[in-house]
Structure 1
Amino acid sequence: MISVADLWIQLDALVPSPLPSERIPLASAQGRILRETILAPEDQPPFDRSAIDGYLVHTDQPAGLVTLEGTIHPGAPAPASAPSPGTAYRILTGSALPPEKAALIMQEDTKATDTGRVHLLQSPSTKHIRRRASQARAGDTLISPGQLLNAGALALLASVGATAPLVSRRARVAHLVTGGELVSPDATPASGQIRDSNSTLIAALLRDSHADLIWQQRVSDSRSATAEALAAALALQPDILLVSGGASVGDHDHTGALLADAGFTIHCDKVASRPGKPFIAASREGCLAFGLPGNPLSHFVCFHLFVRRVLARLAGTEPVALIRAKLAPRSELRPDPRETWWPALLTHDSVTALPWRDSSDLTVLARANALLRVPSTPSASSQVEVLCCS
């Protein structure tokens, strides 16, 4: 039985490099990992521009009356020079400004007259000018490889015309759910049956994990049905194959044997983790396979400990690191000879251990956003290690 830390080392070795990159439209790039350096193609901003609605005057212009000579609209070229003292241009936010001798005054600090003149109630200043290259100069690095493309990063890419960024390909994942007791979530279970929650759980976890669920099927736990479905999944050439259930050593636990029959090398069939002990990690060329223990809480733990780590490596980014947090008062942690990854609620100042009865207990997952590591050897420290799951 392998430790969690040693299995992490093995999994990292199985993913020596990320998946190939691809160029995609900017509209499809949210949540992808950037695989190129984005440079500023020109100064940012590319010209001096106004940050206010108001008036453009000469820097030598004092408070008093000025004659209005026209309007500089956003999108129009800047005038070649600042207006002469005694004159002004109407400007709007974003209007281009001449590079020298320009000063601005806010509309609120002026008063219009009936004679086409404007009374400046205060002296103009340059503080409302957004200077050329004040944010970045042409050639500066704006975004480096490895960054997650969130809404702000996408907006920055759009602003510099990077409309087809080079990003990591999302891993293609096939998911097979086994279990003769399982029925669809919209069905009414008969005696001895339960609704399938693992299909929904895995689909939701994959959406936030640099992966696309390309196939998902539920079958009975017979060897023939599992083998047939496994062959169908592998025919799609997924990067990752997940099998829910059948990972232990019971009469209906066929996952390990069927993966071996399909040409996979089994690297692990038990891990010293609670919950999640019967966990299979296997590989063959072009595909990694994981046999997840059937209980949903074990699913949640094993996914975040191992599957998400591999998906991060395939995307070209670092796995989520353990952090230190203060254990909240009255958190009761039951010791166990195995290392426990306890469902927990992480806040800005502490982590609270949430109550759970066993590895089939789904009630705790509605609140859990972290896993609290409880070593097999108890510690008296109030600081604990936590893996964030949100």
Structure 2
Amino acid sequence: MKMIILGGGITGRTLALAVAALSAGRVQVEIIDTVSENNRQKYSTDNYAIALAYGTCQQLERIGAWKELNSFATPIESIYVSDQGGYGSVVFRSLDYKIPYLGQVIQLHQAAAILLRLLEKAPGVRIFGPGTVVGVIQEQDNATINLDNGTILTGKLLVAADGSPSLLAKHCKINYRNKNYDQIAVIANVITSNAHQGKAFERFTPDGPLAMLPMSKAGCALVWCHSVNNQNEIRGWNDIEFLQHLQKMFGWRLGKIIKTGKRHYYPLNLRWADQHITHRIALVGNAAQNLHPIAGQGFNLALRDVISLAETIVQAELQGHDIGSYKVLSCYKKRRAPDQQLTIRMTDGLINLFANSLTPLVIGRNVAMMAIDLLPTLRENLARRTLGWVQR
């Protein structure tokens, strides 16, 4: 049997690799890159990093990808969560859970390049592109995708892994709902005078959530959210002004913040598809739901989609079932819906709680963090989601 994946980014590549590994090449995979590799390198930014939860790393190891990725990753050994000016805080340490790290940080372009190299050696995988979808035909027993470069591919299943909003989803009349957070994220690499020692920080400030993730040497990957109303001022800051404002919001836990790399700005919203499956079509990752970066849940949720879909497909193939049938895809949907919905509610709830300066909410969130730090059940539930130990 054959499946086709539209989208050659990190989600699509991981799905192709997972299916190839778990099926030992029995399920044929054709992956369509929507961006040429030259353009991907040209426009990739060396300061966009992702945090992989411990559970995500476990799954990547299972499909044979983690050994290569690990060489370029930096471990997170502790996470400090705090509210600027507040008294509530939570600290998670890998030693508390008898694991070597809570997660790993890797630059996105490095991860994508490694996955591509692994795919080129994976059994049963063919890579096409670059190409843009111009037509989709859903027949009873097959689905066909037409690309603008003249390529026509047919398989039992088409998977949208082309981001949000997905062109494949659009061609299949799948609509999206959107919630605008009226925020932008500032992405940059920064250098601090003190080594990070494997520490990650999630700090809630009046401007918005601020995350500092450990990277090699004294570097940290910064994700700093601001109100969209202030974007003109923020974009106008020179390096010295930017570092001064960042120091004020973050504090001195890592000493003086002495240097910033090139800054990039992204609008933030929540976007999710009305349907995650339809006839011979499945959506994964950002094509299914695109989250706010708070708590770093985006790719970790996407990876759980990917592994679950790969397992569902491979099991169906072993049992002689049609991998693109509605029965098989319904199993995937039923399996993933609880985790997807809970993660969306959690990230959206955190934004509503921590992006609000009203006094009752400020008091409430500080009390909540104190409760999490003191009550084992609350702490354990949050820790398991942070670690990616989530039922899927």
Q: TM-score, length-normalised on structure 1?
A: 0.27
- Give the number of the structure with larger relative contact order, counting CA–CA contacts within 8 Å between residues 6 or more apart: 2
Q: Is the helix fraction higher in 1 or 2?
A: 2
Q: TM-score, length-normalised on structure 2?
A: 0.27
Q: Which has the larger radius of gyration?
A: 1
